[in-house]
Chains A and B, each alone.
Chain A
Amino acid sequence: NAGVTQTPKFQVLKTGQSMTLQCAQDMNHEYMSWYRQDPGMGLRLIHYSVGAGITDQGEVPNGYNVSRSTTEDFPLRLLSAAPSQTSVYFCASRTDPGPSEQYFGPGTRLTVT
Protein backbone atom coordinates (compact mmCIF):
# COMPACT_ATOMS: atom_id res chain seq x y z
CA ASN A 1 0.00 0.00 0.00
CA ALA A 2 1.93 3.05 -1.28
CA GLY A 3 -0.59 5.65 -0.04
CA VAL A 4 -0.45 8.92 -1.99
CA THR A 5 2.31 9.22 -4.57
CA GLN A 6 3.38 12.30 -6.50
CA THR A 7 5.68 12.77 -9.48
CA PRO A 8 8.00 14.45 -10.14
CA LYS A 9 9.65 15.42 -6.85
CA PHE A 10 11.36 18.44 -8.39
CA GLN A 11 10.71 20.41 -11.57
CA VAL A 12 12.08 23.59 -13.12
CA LEU A 13 10.01 25.32 -15.80
CA LYS A 14 10.44 28.43 -17.87
CA THR A 15 7.71 31.04 -17.88
CA GLY A 16 5.00 30.07 -20.35
CA GLN A 17 5.70 26.34 -20.34
CA SER A 18 2.99 23.86 -19.41
CA MET A 19 3.26 20.70 -17.39
CA THR A 20 1.24 18.15 -15.44
CA LEU A 21 1.88 17.18 -11.84
CA GLN A 22 0.86 13.60 -11.25
CA CYS A 23 -0.94 12.29 -8.17
CA ALA A 24 -2.14 8.77 -7.48
CA GLN A 25 -3.55 6.97 -4.46
CA ASP A 26 -4.17 3.26 -3.88
CA MET A 27 -6.52 3.55 -0.88
CA ASN A 28 -9.73 3.78 -2.94
CA HIS A 29 -10.40 7.26 -1.54
CA GLU A 30 -13.17 9.24 -3.17
CA TYR A 31 -12.01 12.68 -2.10
CA MET A 32 -8.77 14.13 -3.47
CA SER A 33 -7.34 17.62 -3.40
CA TRP A 34 -4.38 19.74 -4.41
CA TYR A 35 -2.68 22.30 -2.16
CA ARG A 36 0.17 24.67 -2.63
CA GLN A 37 2.51 25.60 0.19
CA ASP A 38 4.38 28.88 0.18
CA PRO A 39 6.67 30.24 2.93
CA GLY A 40 4.61 31.88 5.68
CA MET A 41 1.32 31.07 3.89
CA GLY A 42 0.42 27.63 5.14
CA LEU A 43 -1.42 25.29 2.80
CA ARG A 44 -3.93 26.70 0.34
CA LEU A 45 -6.48 24.62 -1.54
CA ILE A 46 -6.22 24.80 -5.35
CA HIS A 47 -8.80 22.25 -6.60
CA TYR A 48 -10.55 19.24 -5.20
CA SER A 49 -12.59 16.27 -6.37
CA VAL A 50 -15.29 14.29 -4.57
CA GLY A 51 -15.18 11.40 -7.02
CA ALA A 52 -14.40 10.39 -10.57
CA GLY A 53 -15.74 12.96 -13.01
CA ILE A 54 -16.43 15.60 -10.32
CA THR A 55 -14.07 18.49 -9.60
CA ASP A 56 -14.42 21.94 -8.08
CA GLN A 57 -12.33 25.01 -7.34
CA GLY A 58 -10.63 25.76 -4.09
CA GLU A 59 -9.18 28.98 -2.74
CA VAL A 60 -6.50 29.64 -5.41
CA PRO A 61 -7.57 27.92 -8.68
CA ASN A 62 -6.39 30.45 -11.29
CA GLY A 63 -3.76 29.09 -13.67
CA TYR A 64 -4.48 25.43 -12.84
CA ASN A 65 -6.71 22.75 -14.34
CA VAL A 66 -7.67 19.35 -12.99
CA SER A 67 -9.59 16.31 -14.13
CA ARG A 68 -10.57 13.06 -12.45
CA SER A 69 -11.14 10.22 -14.87
CA THR A 70 -10.42 7.45 -12.34
CA THR A 71 -10.69 7.09 -8.58
CA GLU A 72 -6.91 6.61 -8.32
CA ASP A 73 -5.52 9.56 -10.30
CA PHE A 74 -5.90 13.32 -9.92
CA PRO A 75 -3.43 15.23 -12.13
CA LEU A 76 -2.86 18.98 -11.81
CA ARG A 77 -2.09 20.89 -15.01
CA LEU A 78 -0.31 24.21 -15.23
CA LEU A 79 -1.42 25.78 -18.48
CA SER A 80 1.18 28.54 -18.84
CA ALA A 81 3.60 28.61 -15.94
CA ALA A 82 4.32 31.91 -14.18
CA PRO A 83 6.95 32.74 -11.53
CA SER A 84 4.08 33.21 -9.03
CA GLN A 85 3.44 29.47 -9.33
CA THR A 86 6.81 28.65 -7.81
CA SER A 87 5.77 26.60 -4.80
CA VAL A 88 5.61 23.18 -3.22
CA TYR A 89 2.53 21.26 -4.32
CA PHE A 90 0.85 18.60 -2.22
CA CYS A 91 -1.81 16.16 -3.25
CA ALA A 92 -4.04 14.70 -0.54
CA SER A 93 -6.83 12.16 -0.31
CA ARG A 94 -9.35 11.00 2.26
CA THR A 95 -11.91 8.30 2.43
CA ASP A 96 -15.05 10.41 2.62
CA PRO A 97 -16.14 14.01 2.02
CA GLY A 98 -16.79 14.70 5.69
CA PRO A 99 -14.21 15.77 8.27
CA SER A 100 -11.67 12.98 8.48
CA GLU A 101 -7.96 12.36 8.19
CA GLN A 102 -6.34 13.58 4.99
CA TYR A 103 -3.37 11.65 3.68
CA PHE A 104 -0.77 13.83 1.97
CA GLY A 105 1.73 12.88 -0.70
CA PRO A 106 5.42 13.79 -0.41
CA GLY A 107 5.09 16.92 -2.53
CA THR A 108 6.47 18.35 -5.78
CA ARG A 109 8.81 21.33 -5.58
CA LEU A 110 8.23 23.51 -8.65
CA THR A 111 10.39 26.44 -9.69
CA VAL A 112 9.32 28.72 -12.53
CA THR A 113 12.04 30.99 -13.92
Chain B
Amino acid sequence: GENVEQHPSTLSVQEGDSAVIKCTYSDSASNYFPWYKQELGKGPQLIIDIRSNVGEKKDQRIAVTLNKTAKHFSLHITETQPEDSAVYFCAASLSGGSNYKLTFGKGTLLTVNP
Protein backbone atom coordinates (compact mmCIF):
# COMPACT_ATOMS: atom_id res chain seq x y z
CA GLY B 1 0.00 0.00 0.00
CA GLU B 2 0.88 3.68 -0.01
CA ASN B 3 3.30 5.09 2.59
CA VAL B 4 3.59 8.82 3.26
CA GLU B 5 6.50 10.32 5.19
CA GLN B 6 6.20 13.88 6.49
CA HIS B 7 8.95 16.19 7.80
CA PRO B 8 9.56 17.95 10.07
CA SER B 9 7.34 16.78 12.91
CA THR B 10 7.57 20.20 14.57
CA LEU B 11 8.40 23.59 13.08
CA SER B 12 8.70 26.92 14.85
CA VAL B 13 8.97 30.19 12.90
CA GLN B 14 8.76 33.89 13.60
CA GLU B 15 5.74 35.79 12.38
CA GLY B 16 6.34 36.96 8.83
CA ASP B 17 8.79 34.19 7.98
CA SER B 18 8.08 31.36 5.54
CA ALA B 19 7.36 27.77 6.53
CA VAL B 20 7.96 24.68 4.40
CA ILE B 21 6.68 21.17 5.13
CA LYS B 22 7.79 18.25 2.98
CA CYS B 23 6.22 14.87 2.23
CA THR B 24 7.34 11.86 0.25
CA TYR B 25 5.15 9.01 -0.99
CA SER B 26 5.92 5.50 -2.10
CA ASP B 27 3.37 4.56 -4.77
CA SER B 28 4.15 6.16 -8.13
CA ALA B 29 0.50 5.62 -9.16
CA SER B 30 -0.74 8.11 -6.54
CA ASN B 31 -2.27 11.12 -8.24
CA TYR B 32 -4.01 13.30 -5.65
CA PHE B 33 -2.21 15.15 -2.86
CA PRO B 34 -4.22 17.23 -0.38
CA TRP B 35 -3.04 19.20 2.63
CA TYR B 36 -5.17 19.50 5.76
CA LYS B 37 -4.90 21.94 8.65
CA GLN B 38 -6.05 20.89 12.11
CA GLU B 39 -6.55 23.49 14.80
CA LEU B 40 -6.61 22.48 18.44
CA GLY B 41 -9.76 20.56 19.34
CA LYS B 42 -11.12 20.54 15.79
CA GLY B 43 -11.27 18.20 12.84
CA PRO B 44 -8.86 18.57 9.89
CA GLN B 45 -9.83 21.02 7.17
CA LEU B 46 -8.63 21.00 3.56
CA ILE B 47 -6.46 24.02 2.74
CA ILE B 48 -5.08 23.13 -0.69
CA ASP B 49 -4.72 20.12 -2.96
CA ILE B 50 -2.83 19.24 -6.12
CA ARG B 51 -3.28 16.61 -8.77
CA SER B 52 -0.54 14.80 -10.61
CA ASN B 53 -0.98 16.70 -13.85
CA VAL B 54 0.01 19.96 -12.13
CA GLY B 55 3.44 20.91 -10.75
CA GLU B 56 2.48 23.85 -8.56
CA LYS B 57 -0.64 25.46 -7.19
CA LYS B 58 -1.04 28.68 -5.21
CA ASP B 59 -3.79 30.15 -3.09
CA GLN B 60 -2.85 33.49 -1.58
CA ARG B 61 -0.10 32.78 1.00
CA ILE B 62 -0.21 29.02 0.52
CA ALA B 63 1.40 27.02 -2.28
CA VAL B 64 1.99 23.36 -2.95
CA THR B 65 4.62 21.92 -5.28
CA LEU B 66 4.75 18.40 -6.65
CA ASN B 67 7.71 16.49 -8.07
CA LYS B 68 6.37 13.22 -9.46
CA THR B 69 9.78 11.97 -10.52
CA ALA B 70 11.14 12.25 -7.00
CA LYS B 71 7.78 11.36 -5.44
CA HIS B 72 7.66 14.29 -3.10
CA PHE B 73 5.44 17.31 -2.55
CA SER B 74 5.74 20.33 -0.30
CA LEU B 75 3.56 22.93 1.40
CA HIS B 76 4.85 26.49 1.44
CA ILE B 77 3.33 29.16 3.67
CA THR B 78 4.61 32.70 3.19
CA GLU B 79 4.26 35.68 5.54
CA THR B 80 3.20 33.42 8.38
CA GLN B 81 0.74 34.71 10.96
CA PRO B 82 -0.05 33.44 14.49
CA GLU B 83 -3.34 32.01 13.20
CA ASP B 84 -1.35 29.70 10.94
CA SER B 85 -0.29 27.81 14.10
CA ALA B 86 -1.81 24.33 13.82
CA VAL B 87 -1.02 20.74 12.87
CA TYR B 88 -0.67 20.20 9.13
CA PHE B 89 -1.18 16.83 7.45
CA CYS B 90 -0.22 15.82 3.94
CA ALA B 91 -1.91 12.91 2.23
CA ALA B 92 -1.70 10.90 -0.95
CA SER B 93 -4.21 8.77 -2.78
CA LEU B 94 -4.78 6.59 -5.76
CA SER B 95 -7.87 7.27 -7.77
CA GLY B 96 -10.08 4.37 -8.71
CA GLY B 97 -13.72 4.95 -7.85
CA SER B 98 -14.74 3.37 -4.57
CA ASN B 99 -11.20 2.22 -3.88
CA TYR B 100 -10.02 5.78 -3.45
CA LYS B 101 -8.46 6.07 0.01
CA LEU B 102 -6.27 8.75 1.55
CA THR B 103 -3.04 7.81 3.29
CA PHE B 104 -1.97 10.55 5.69
CA GLY B 105 1.44 11.63 6.90
CA LYS B 106 2.00 11.83 10.65
CA GLY B 107 1.59 15.57 10.83
CA THR B 108 3.67 18.70 11.46
CA LEU B 109 3.01 20.97 14.42
CA LEU B 110 3.63 24.51 13.16
CA THR B 111 4.07 27.25 15.75
CA VAL B 112 4.23 30.88 14.59
CA ASN B 113 5.72 33.11 17.27
CA PRO B 114 4.49 36.73 17.35
Interchain CA distance A59-B41 in the complex, whole Å:
24
Partner of A107 from the list B42, B95, B97 (CB cut-off 8 Å) is B42
Interchain CA distance A102-B44 in the complex, whole Å:
9
Partner of A90 from the list B43, B46, B51 (CB cut-off 8 Å) is B43
Listed in ascending order, the chain A residues whose CB lies under 8 Å from chain B are 4, 40-45, 48, 50, 54, 56, 58-59, 90, 92, 97-99, 101-102, 104-107
The reply to whether A99 and B31 form a contact with Cβ atoms under 8 Å apart is yes
One digit per residue, 1 when the CB lies within 8 angstroms of any chain A CB and 0 when it does not, for chain B 81-112 equals 00000000100010101101110111100000
Which residue among B6, B31, B46, B100 has the maximum number of chain A CB atoms within 10 Å of its CB? B100
* Inter-chain residue pair count (beta carbon < 8 A): 59
Known: A42-B106, A43-B104. 17 other contacts (CB 8 A): A4-B43, A42-B105, A43-B89, A45-B101, A45-B102, A56-B98, A58-B101, A90-B44, A98-B95, A99-B93, A101-B49, A102-B102, A104-B36, A104-B44, A104-B45, A107-B41, A107-B42
Interchain CA distance A40-B109 in the complex, whole Å:
10
The reply to whether A99 and B95 form a contact with Cβ atoms under 8 Å apart is yes
User: Taking A101-B46, A106-B43 as contacts, is the C-beta distance between A48 and B89 under 8 angstroms?
Assistant: no
